[in-house]
Every structure is written in C-alpha cells, then in structure tokens.
Structure 1
Amino acid sequence: MTKRIVKVYPRFERAWHWVQALLIGVLLLTGLGLNGVHHLIPFGPAVMLHTIAALVLLVVWVFATFWLFTTGTWRQFIPKIEGMLETARYYAYGIFKGEEAPYKKVFWRKHNPLQAATYFGLKWFVFPAIWVSGIIYLTYNFWDSGSDATLILQVVRNIHLLAAYVILAFIIVHVYLLTTGHGFRAHVKPMVTGYDEIDLTPAQEAYLEANEPNRLKPVTPAE
C-alpha cells in the first residue's frame, strides 16, 4: 500500500453534501419551532420554509440517488460485518485512549464498516420514513375523512418526529466525530477540496496514473 493524495469526492458529491446539510439544518430549525421547542420563527413562515426546504431536498435526493446508482458509488454504503466489532470498540473505547483507528480509508471504500452501516440505515429506513410521513402529513387535507383520520395523523406525526430526532442525533454524533483524530479541519477539508490521503495498492496507483492522472496530486518531498 502507498499513501497518496487522491480526489475521492467529486464535485457533485461535495455540492450534494453541503446543500443537503444546509437544507436539513433549515428543516430541523423550522420543524423544532413548529413543535414548540423554540419560537424563533412565526408559525406561518416556519411552515412555508419547512415545506419549501423539504421539496428542494427531495429533488436533490432524486438527483443524488440517480448519481449513486449510475456511478456505482452506492456500493460504498453496503455494510460489511468484517471489522465492525473492531471499529465499534474503537469509537466506544479506543478513541478515548489515543489508539490508532483500526480502519484505513482505501480507494474503493471510503467509509469504515460502522459508517457504512449507519449510512445504510439512514438511507434505507430513516430517510424513507421521514419522507413518506412528511408527504402524508403535507397532503392531510386530501385524505382527511372519517373518525380515524385524527388517529392516523397522530401516528404519522410521531413517525415523522422520531425520524427527525434520529437524524438530529446522527448530526450531533457526526459533528462530534469530526473533532476527533486529526481534528475538525483535517476531516472537513476533503469535503471542500475533494482530496484526501488514502492507501492505494500498486495496481490502483498505476491505474489512476494511466487513466485518471487528474485525480492524483503529484508526490513531493514533503509528502
């Protein structure tokens, strides 16, 4: 294995990440306000902002899903059992003892086993739950009929809130983990520039140098 500075996050992925982060921030802020957690935004404007941000995010996710499957990037989010326990132990214990992370980022797999499992759960369960419940909630006036409508709405509301709090918890843990290891700046920089230091096999390095040299930063004595 050779450590090289490689562009692992293409422009679309970085744009999608930051736009998604901004929109989810707006949704959480307005959603918490609508549920009485704070009163920073009046109810009417909060509903409007929440709805607009949700619809824009839905469009972004449609494009992102298309990109994930057409580029094969979706494979990055398939969890593997191998290394899961070691990674979980590191985050639960080893990270506080200054131990070295058991997983090294490689060219074909950017996420460690725990990250992949987390993203898999979010993308296949939490995000669909919040979208389906949100759309049902938004279209309440179209299906509001019968004595069971209020009960159904309450169930839908609770599912929507539960999914939202799961996403909020993920964001808190995600930001916290960015402060560990090499520090916040080192973790965030790759999602700004696209480049990160990863391990390459001789075959991968030769392939990139021959076919995608623009993804490799030249080796300098400092590196």
Structure 2
Amino acid sequence: MSERLYLFTRFERFWHWSQAALIITLLFSGFAIHGSHSLLDFRTAVTLHESAAWLLIGLWVFAIFWHVTTGQWRQYIPTLSNIQRVALYYAHGIFTGAPHPYKVTQERKHNPVQRIAYLGVLLLINPLIWLSGLLYLFWGKLAQHMPEWLNLEQVALVHTFAAFLMLIFLIVHLYLATTGHTPLAYLKAMISGWEERH
C-alpha cells in the first residue's frame, strides 16, 4: 500500500527545473567557449553563457529571498544524526535493495548526506563560480584593484574548476534521482510535487 506526501511546492519545482536548465546551458556554452565542442560558435557561446549567468543570478537572489522568508533555509542545516546509516545505504544498501533509512517529511525533505551535499554547493561551488565568473567578466575594470599575484588566467582556472565541481554534482544528482522505488519516482515527485511512499 502506498501513501502520497506533497513534498515540493510549485515554487520549489519552478526553481529546481529553471536552475537545472540554466546550469546545463552554462555548462554547454562554457565548454563551447573552451573549444571542447563546436556546436556553438564562440560569439554565440559567450552571449548565451552571459545571458544564462545573469538569469541564474536573478533566480538565486529570488530563491534566497524565498528561502529566508518561508523558513525553508532550515532544510539545509547539516546534521550528523543518522549520517552513517544514510552513507552506508548509498555505499552498499542501495545496491542490495535495502530500504532507505531516512523518512522524508515536509519539515525534513533532505537526508543528512543531501544536506551536506547541498550545503557544499551553496557555500563552496556557487561562490567559486560566481566570484570567479563576475571577476572574469569585469576584469578590465577590476584588474587594477587586484593583487599582483592574481591574473586573468588564474581566475579562468578557478572558474573552470568550479564548473567541473558543478558538473560532478549534476552527474551524481542525476544518478541518485534514479534510485527511488522506481527509476522515475523522484523525477515524478519533482514534476508533480507529490512523492509516493511504498
């Protein structure tokens, strides 16, 4: 017998899918800028990359406001409670059909491993991407105010490194999204807002 839990609000789903589309666009255009593929010419790739970046910055500012005003920022506070059980589930139990050791609720949507992963994105990957990206974009105006040991090539390397961290997160995120009671269960929940419990 299954039960349904309304887990993701309309805004959370909008934020998730908009953010995903913009991040994929940024990765795709960024790799074109680096010459990793030729599906976009350089000028188009740069224009697309900058446009997607500004849209994502706007989305994140709005999302931060929403998280603060609704109290949903609490979903990302890390906890070590049951983290070993959840980590062991991801390392072994997931491959043996073991039940997930964490019960999701509306008040606790993310398990301890997810909380740490999302916090890492919010506090490490995102700031690295945005600070290096904005510094790169406005380097012509900011270069004279930068320390002598910092040059544009270093800024670009940090930006690329952060982009690869985001790509790794995206790949792991996509993989784990297929590990529900059916391969599409989590995807359906993020589309409809309703999670099926079995």
Normalization by structure 1: what TM-score?
0.82
Q: Which amino acid aligns with 2:115?
A: A
- What secondary structure, in the 3-state scheme, does the structure 1 residue paired with 2:114 have? helix
Task: Quote the residue 2:25 is aligned against.
Answer: 26
Q: Which moved more, 1:90-99 or 1:64-73?
A: 90-99
Q: Which amino acid aligns with 2:110?
A: H
Instruction: For 1:64-213, list aligned pairs within 5 A.
Output: 64-145=63-144, 151-197=150-196
- What secondary structure, in the 3-state scheme, does the structure 2 residue paired with 1:6 have? strand
- The Cα offsets for residues 36-65 of structure 1, whole Å up to 9 and x where unpaired, read as 211110000000000000001000000000
Q: Is the 8 A contact 2:185 2:196 kept in 1?
A: no
- The Cα offsets for residues 154-181 of structure 1, whole Å up to 9 and x where unpaired, read as 2211111111111100110111112223
Name the CA distance, whole Å, in 1 between partners of 2:145 and 2:103: 56
Larger Rg: 1
Q: How much has 1:151 moved relative to structure 2?
A: 4.6
Pick closer, same or farther for the CA change 1:160–1:98 going to 2, 3 Å: same
Pick closer, same or farther for the CA change 1:150–1:49 going to 2, 3 Å: farther
Q: How much has 1:4 moved relative to structure 2?
A: 4.4
Q: Which amino acid aligns with 1:168?
A: L
Q: Which structure would you say has the larger RCO, counting Cα contacts within 8 Å and 6 or more residues apart?
A: 1
Aligned-residue sequence identity (percent) comes to: 44
Name the CA distance, whole Å, in 2 between partners of 1:174 and 1:166: 12
Task: Quote the residue 2:15 is aligned against.
Answer: 16
- What secondary structure, in the 3-state scheme, does the structure 1 residue paired with 2:151 have? helix
Q: Is the 8 A contact 2:136 2:156 kept in 1?
A: yes
Task: Quote the residue 1:203 is aligned against.
Answer: none
- What secondary structure, in the 3-state scheme, does the structure 1 residue paired with 2:78 have? coil
Give ranges in structure 1 of 5+ residues lacking alignment: 199-222
Q: Which moved more, 1:34-43 or 1:145-154?
A: 145-154
- What secondary structure, in the 3-state scheme, does the structure 2 residue paired with 1:93 have? helix
After TM superposition, which residue ranges in structure 1, 4 or more long, deviate above 6 angstroms?
Answer: 146-150
Normalization by structure 2: what TM-score?
0.92
Aligned pairs, number:
197
Pick closer, same or farther for the CA change 1:140–1:186 going to 2, 3 Å: same
Pick closer, same or farther for the CA change 1:41–1:185 going to 2, 3 Å: same
- What secondary structure, in the 3-state scheme, does the structure 2 residue paired with 1:91 have? helix
RMSD: 2.0
Q: Which amino acid aligns with 2:193?
A: G
Q: Which amino acid aligns with 2:59?
A: V
- The Cα offsets for residues 48-85 of structure 1, whole Å up to 9 and x where unpaired, read as 00000000100000000000010000101111001111
Name the CA distance, whole Å, in 2 between partners of 1:91 and 1:135: 36
Name the CA distance, whole Å, in 1 between partners of 2:95 and 2:121: 26
- The Cα offsets for residues 9-31 of structure 1, whole Å up to 9 and x where unpaired, read as 11111111111111111000000
Q: How much has 1:107 moved relative to structure 2?
A: 2.7
Name the CA distance, whole Å, in 1 between partners of 2:93 and 2:52: 39
